[in-house]
Structure 1
Amino acid sequence: MSLNRAIDPDPLDPSQRRTLLALARQSIAHGLDQGGPLPVVPSDYPADLRERRAAFVTLETGGTLRGCIGHLEAIQPLVSDVAENAFAAAFRDPRFRPLTRPELARLSIEISVLTPSQPLSFTSEEELLRMIEPGRDGLILEAGAARGTFLPTVWESLPEPRAFLRHLKQKAGLRPDYWSDRVRVRRYRTESFSE
C-alpha cells in the first residue's frame, strides 16, 4: 500500500526551501542572542509556507549529529514550525548541550517536511515488514505508552527493514524482539533539503 497522491503535497520550490533554511538559521542565531526562537509572522511569507505542516530540523557539525527536534503532526504554519524546531534542536535536544556561538558557523541544517501520517493495517510483524518501503517511509510505532519514530533518512544507516523496525522498537523503549497486537504503526514521507 503506497501513500496516495492526495496527501502528498506538491514539493516546495527552491526559493521556498532557501527561505525555510534561512529562517532556521536566523532562529538559531536569535536564540543565541535572545534565548528564544525567532518570532515569526506567518502572513509575511508565501501561502505555501503558511500551511499547517509538520517538520523536523536536524543539525550537524562536521557530519556528526548535533540536534534533531520536530513535530509529527501539523499544529501550526510551516514557517512557525521550522523556526520553533530549529531553536529547539539547537538548545533543547536533551541528548546534547546547548549550541554555542562558535558552532553556528560550522553548523549544517537539514529540514524534513512531513506528509500527514497514515495508519498501516497488519496482523503480524512479518506482514508489517512486507509493507514497509525502505528509503521512503518514516514510521511512528506505538504500543501502549511506548512511542518512537524514525525519519526516512534513518534508512541510510539501517537499510534492512527488520533492523530498522528492531531499532525503532528500542527507540520507543521496547525490546527489539517485542511484538503484541497492541503495536500500532503509522507511516509518513518527508521532503528533505539542506544547506
Structure 2
Amino acid sequence: MVPMSVTEYNSQQRAAILLLAREGVCQAVRTGSVELPDITSLEPFLREDRACFVTLESHAELRGCIGSLQATRPLGHDLLHNACGAALYDYRFEALQASEPVQVSVSILSPLEEMSFSSESDLLAQLIPREDGLLIQAGRNRATFLPVVWEGLPTPELFLRALKRKAALPADYWSDQVKAWRYHSEYFAEEGEKPACE
C-alpha cells in the first residue's frame, strides 16, 4: 500500500474541512444532531468516500474523538457525523457545552492494510513511529490509535501497550488470535481554541 500523501489536501481544502467540522460541532451542541447537506452542494473533494476522525481538545486535553475506520460515505458527511459524535457521544466525556473552548482537528485516513506477523515482537518491529495508525482486535476487543498519538507514546512498545489497554486488554496481553491493521492519515488542526459554538 502506498502511504497517503501528507499534502493530499491544499491549504484552502484543509481550511474548508476544518470549517465544516467546526460547523458540525456547533450544530450538534445547539440542536443535538447535524443535518447532512445534499451531496451535490459539496465541493468535489468532499464528495469522495473517505474515512476520517474528528478530535476535540480543550485546555490542551482530549475532549472528544470519534471517527470512521473505513470509507462508507462522502467525506463531507463523515466529517459532520463524526464532529457531532465527538461533541456529544464520546462515552468518555460529558456532552460538550457551547461555551467550552475547543480546538478541532481532523485526520483523514488511508485504507486499512491488514498486517501479517508471527509474534508481538514481529508486530512491534514492523510499526513505523509517527507514520502508522494501528487497529488491533482480539475477539470482541478492539481499539485504534491515530498516527498523531505517537507524539505522546513515542516507542512501538509504549504505543502498543497503551492501545491494548484502550481495547480493555491487559498491557502485557498477547495471543495468536490478535489481528492488526495499519493505516496512514493526513492530520491538520485549527489554530488555538475557541468556544464550541459562538
Question: Contact (CA 8 Å) 1:31, 1:38: kept in 2 or not?
Answer: no
- Please give the TM-score of this superposition, normalised by the length of structure 1: 0.92
**More helix, by proportion:** 1
Structure 2 residue runs of 5 or longer lacking an equivalent are: 191-198
Question: Contact (CA 8 Å) 2:46, 2:75: kept in 1 or not?
Answer: yes
| 2:178 is the alignment partner of 1:183 | yes
Question: Contact (CA 8 Å) 1:37, 1:84: kept in 2 or not?
Answer: yes
Counterparts in 2 of 1:1-195, with a 5 A limit?
A: 3-4=1-2, 8=4, 11-103=8-100, 106-195=101-190
Question: Contact (CA 8 Å) 2:25, 2:84: kept in 1 or not?
Answer: yes
- Please give the TM-score of this superposition, normalised by the length of structure 2: 0.91
Q: Distance in 2 between matches of 1:35 and 1:143?
A: 34
Question: Contact (CA 8 Å) 1:40, 1:83: kept in 2 or not?
Answer: no
Q: Distance in 2 between matches of 1:23 and 1:38?
A: 12
Shift of 1:121: 0.7
Question: Contact (CA 8 Å) 2:46, 2:74: kept in 1 or not?
Answer: yes
The DSSP-based 3-state class of the residue aligned with 1:110 is: strand
Identity %: 43
Segments of 4+ in structure 1 off by > 3 A?
A: none
What one-letter code is carried by the residue in structure 2 that aligns with 1:57?
A: V
CA offsets per residue over residues 135-191 of structure 1, 9 Å max, x none?
110000011111010111111111011111111111111111111110111000010
Q: Distance in 2 between matches of 1:139 and 1:178?
A: 16
Question: Contact (CA 8 Å) 2:30, 2:98: kept in 1 or not?
Answer: no
Question: Contact (CA 8 Å) 1:90, 1:98: kept in 2 or not?
Answer: yes
Question: Contact (CA 8 Å) 2:105, 2:189: kept in 1 or not?
Answer: yes
Aligned residue-pair number? 189
Q: Distance in 1 between matches of 2:186 and 2:144?
A: 16
Tell me: higher relative CO, structure 1 or 2? Use CA pairs within 8 A at least 6 residues apart: 2
Structure 1 residue runs of 5 or longer lacking an equivalent are: none
